């Protein structure tokens, strides 16, 4: 089994790439979804969040109070760092468990999809990394349509992510999402087979 970290900025197409990899039989571990699950269901994570941000971080019915937490965290670098220090290690533990299951099942490829793969140190937990990059105007168009937000809001979110040139420089593989969907599928398959060739 070989593991591949897939990352990319907002609207880059990394989720579509992961879908193409799944079509080939890869298993995808979605870090952001796992983080949300852990914040809701993992007692140790919940306890640390309450200690850091107060009991109001969870509603009376036990659900995560996302608006409250967002208000405490976004725009406050120290608070972001505190939350990440709780959530990221828990996500990595989950990924290690997923990797162990994948090895036991003799899976060929396990993908770790994460928007902040490098920023969070997730590249240390995978064998290879792949960055999905795309022209800014394409990214903005995709996200404004998908999330019903303005172009200015998308640009603001992009400012908080690594520049694409940095992703290109850091990743083992780069997929340039600058053509058709079929073109993106072909480029994804090229990376898929290249990664598997490294395993043999």
Same domain, 92 and 127: no
The model's pLDDT over 64-77, given as tens digits with 9 standing for 90+, comes to 999 999 999 988 88
**Sheet with 2-7, edge to edge strand ranges:** 27-30, 109-113, 2-7, 128-133, 173-176
CA atoms within 13 A on the CB side of 17: 33
Q: Give yes or no: residues 115 and 22 share one domain.
A: yes
Cα separation of 158 and 185, whole Å? 24
* 90 and 51, same domain (yes or no): yes
Q: What angle do CA 58, 61, 62 make, to 5 degrees?
A: 40
Number of domains in the chain: 2
Are both 144 and 89 inside the same structural domain? no
pLDDT tens readout for residues 132-166:
999 999 999 999 999 999 999 999 889 888 999 99
Q: If pLDDT is split at 50, 70 and 90, which confidence band does 32 have? A: very high
The residues with which 2 forms a beta bridge, in sequence order, are 109
- pTM, to two decimals: 0.91
Per the listing, tokens 């349509």 go with 145
Q: Are residues 132 and 155 in the same domain?
A: yes
Residue 31, in any domain of the structure: no
């Amino acid at each position: 089994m070989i593991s591949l970290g897939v990352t990319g900025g907002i609207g880059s197409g990394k989720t579509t790439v992961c879908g193409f990899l799944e079509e080939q039989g890869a298993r995808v571990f979605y870090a952001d979804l796992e983080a949300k699950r852990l914040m809701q269901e993992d007692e140790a994570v919940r306890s640390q969040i309450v200690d850091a941000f107060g009991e109001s971080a969870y509603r009376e019915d036990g659900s995560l109070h996302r608006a409250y937490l967002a208000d405490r965290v976004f725009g406050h670098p120290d608070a972001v760092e505190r939350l990440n220090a709780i959530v990221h290690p828990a996500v990595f533990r989950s990924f290690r468990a997923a990797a162990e299951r994948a090895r036991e099942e003799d899976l060929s490829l396990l993908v770790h999809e994460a928007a902040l793969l490098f920023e969070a140190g997730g590249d240390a937990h995978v064998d290879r990394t792949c960055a999905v990059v795309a022209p800014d105007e394409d990214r903005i168009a995709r996200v404004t349509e998908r999330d019903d937000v303005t172009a200015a809001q998308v640009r603001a979110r992009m400012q908080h992510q690594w520049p694409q040139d940095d992703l290109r420089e850091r990743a083992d593989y780069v997929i340039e999402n600058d053509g058709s969907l079929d073109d993106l599928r072909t480029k994804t398959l090229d990376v898929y087979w290249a990664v598997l060739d490294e395993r043999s």
